[in-house]
Amino acid sequence: MTDDLATLMRQAQDDDDPLLALHATTALRREIERLEAVQVRRARVAGLAWAQIADAIGVSKQAVHKKYGRR
């Protein structure tokens, strides 16, 4: 997965074709969202409060709970 992310990052930054760079950027965003969701679940299972998770992500407690609390 690390190689895939590195490849996508290079494509997003360096590709001369703007459409390919946009596709790579979108794929990166999806993967980052997936990884964030995994880490939020891990944090909740470990007993961390929504406020702690929100602080780590840099959003409000309400925002993190709304995005991940109902899954």
pLDDT (tens digit per residue) in 4-63: 888 889 999 998 999 999 999 999 999 999 999 999 999 999 999 999 999 999 999 999
pLDDT at 70: 74
Beta carbons within 8 Å of 33's beta carbon, 6+ residues apart = none
CB count within 10 Å of CB 64 equals 22
pLDDT at 1: 60
Q: Which has more pLDDT, 1 or 52?
A: 52
CB count within 10 Å of CB 41 equals 12
pTM: predicted TM-score of the whole model, two decimal places: 0.81
